[in-house]
Each structure stands twice: as structure tokens, then as C-alpha cells.
A = this chain, B = another copy of it.
Amino acid sequence: MTFFYKNVYINETATIAGPYEKKGPLHHYFDKSYDDLKMGENTWEDAESRILEESVDILLAKINKKRFDIDVFLSGDLMNQLTSSNYAASRLGIPYLGIYNACATSVEGLIIASNMIEAKQIKNAICSVSSHNNSAEKQFRYPVEYGGPKKKTTTFTTTGGASAYLSSEKSLIKVDSATIGTVIDMGIKDVYNMGAVMAPACASVLYKHLEETGRSLDYYDMVFSGDLGIYGKKILPEFMKLEYGLDLKNYDDTATMIFDVENQSVYAGGSGPACLPLVSYGYLFEKMKKKELKRILLIATGALMSTTMVNEKHTIPAIAHAISLEVNL
């Protein structure tokens, strides 16, 4: 399902990163970063919720608005029951819609907000996501303290909070169109190979986006997925070629951009709902401001993995949503 927009802009963004991201190549693009994973809180969950809320506060300061000026807060994260978002929403007091499509949540939020703004149902929205390496490891894998080795196809959940302010007020980053994806399950059960789980869902929404907009791949300066990782990033172009006969060349994956994957111990690269916005809201938008990128397609990919279902021998479904952004000349 594809939507076109005439009057939606991402006016401003704010990102907060954790210590691993701070040591990565994009460190000077974050609004704030922490050296410590606890961020002064007592638990990983509190730390994650804190950076989500803090990204909203930094965003509000940038646009010189108060919490009560915001019509809708759309937020999601990896924690069961969207814990980080819920507790941040509780403190923020903005009308709240909780959303969840795993690491595709960031673009899911941007789509719902863009639809409401385009239709003049709301005047503005803040879309947020967060993820935290240790809260995710604790919930989905093993306590970090175990120090167990992992497969090289494993991704490393990014620690970050990211927020975007959207309205119909003209600014440099225009939301052009977006496509909601369908769930794709290729029968993979390997929880340490999310790139392979998600690449077909990414290919599916990319193909559908091109089909429904009548565009070819070279319409975009670059297509960015987030987050397939080193191995999923190799699968996607192969899958696009085999399944749809398309040559995906102008392409990169934010999992491999947020970290120096050769020199940081992050296995196949970054993941988590925060990874794509941590890369795009800072680094990519800066490139757009400099007109080095004029039209980009962001595809957020989510593995809809449940530890319960994996223990019950189910395969892992995945989803992806695409949003097209262009420089408003």
C-alpha cells in the first residue's frame, strides 16, 4: 500500500547514542552520546526509556516547542509491551499511539504520522524509537555477563533514542511517499541470522514501492535498508535480481554504517529500531542538506521474532516499510 504526500516535512530530528555508537564513524552526527550504558539509571530498561524521552526533549528544544504543542506521539521499541515508549509517554503526557513492527517501527511511525499530517487531521507529530544493546540482549538472548560467543551473522543491537518532528511546515526534508509492507516468512529459524530473515521482506516492499510509484531504482540517489547487516546486505541485491530481475546498485545498509564493522566487535553490524534513524537523522540528512543526496528511499526492516515462538520451533516472519524522502529545493 503506497501513499503520496504533498505537504509533509521532517522539520527536525534528535538522536542520542550509546558508547559503542559513540566509538563508531558517525559519532559527530549525534546530538548527544553516553559513555556508559546505564546513563545514570539503575537498569537497562530505565536507561533505554530515558534516552528515548531525552531525544524528545532535545527535539522540542530545537524546535522551540513545549510538550503540549505536540498533537500525537508515535513510539515503539523492542522491549516487551513497548516498555521504553510507554514510560517515556507517561512522562511526556502527549497523546500516544504505541506501534510495533520490530526494527521497522521507525518508518511505521513516520508513515502513520505523515498520513495524518497530509490529511490535516493533526498539525504535527513526534515519531520516536529506541533500542538498547543490553536490554535487548537480556530479553532476547542471554545476560551479557555470560559472555557467550556468537555466530558471525549475529547483529549487535544499537543503543540509541531517536525522534523526528513532522509537520506541514515547509523545510528541507520533504516526505514524498511511503509503502507499507506485508509480512514475509521464508521459513528461517536461525535467530542469529536476521539479515537472511529480513532481506526478502525488504525486497518485497522495495519492489512494491517501485511498482506502485511507477519508478525505477535509479529514481533514487540511494536506497538504504536498516538493518540487514553485512550478510543480509549481500543477500538483498541477489534476491532483487533473482526474484524481480532488478539490479540494485545504489544501495547501502545502515547496520554497516553505524559501526566500523571491520574494527568494532559488532559481528554483522548494528540492529534495533534506533539504528536506521541514528544513521539517517544525522548523517544522511546532513548529506541531503548539502544536496549530496537529493532523493533517498529508507527501508526499515523488522524481524518479528518472539523467543516463545522460536522455542516452539516456529520460523521467523519479517516485515519492512519504505519511505521516500527528498530535498525540498
Contacts and interface: CB of A to CB of B under 8 A. Distances in A.
Interface of A: 1, 3, 42-43, 45-46, 71-72, 76, 79-83, 86-87, 89-90, 92-102, 108, 111-112, 115-116, 118-119, 121-122, 139, 180-185, 304-309, 312, 314, 317, 319
Nearest to A72: B1
Contacts of A182: 89, 93-96
Nearest to A208: B95
B119 A115 contact: yes
Contacts of A119: 115, 118-119, 121
A90 B183 contact: yes
Contacts of A317: 86-87, 89-90
A45 B321 CA distance: 26
Contacts of A116: 115
A236 B34 CA distance: 43
Copies held by the complex: 2
A139 B80 CA distance: 10
A98 B99 contact: yes
Given A1-B122, A3-B121, 11 more contacts: A1-B71, A43-B312, A80-B308, A81-B304, A89-B183, A90-B183, A93-B183, A95-B182, A97-B180, A98-B101, A115-B121
Contact of A79 (B82, B86, B92, B308): B308
A121 B81 CA distance: 29
Contacts of A309: 45, 83, 87
A231 B58 CA distance: 41
A177 to B, nearest CB: 12
A306 B98 contact: no
21 contacts: A1-B122, A45-B306, A76-B100, A80-B308, A81-B102, A81-B305, A81-B306, A86-B306, A86-B317, A87-B314, A89-B319, A90-B185, A90-B304, A90-B317, A96-B319, A97-B108, A98-B304, A98-B319, A99-B99, A115-B119, A139-B308
Contact of A90 (B3, B90, B184): B184
A37 to B, nearest CB: 16
Contacts of A181: 95-96
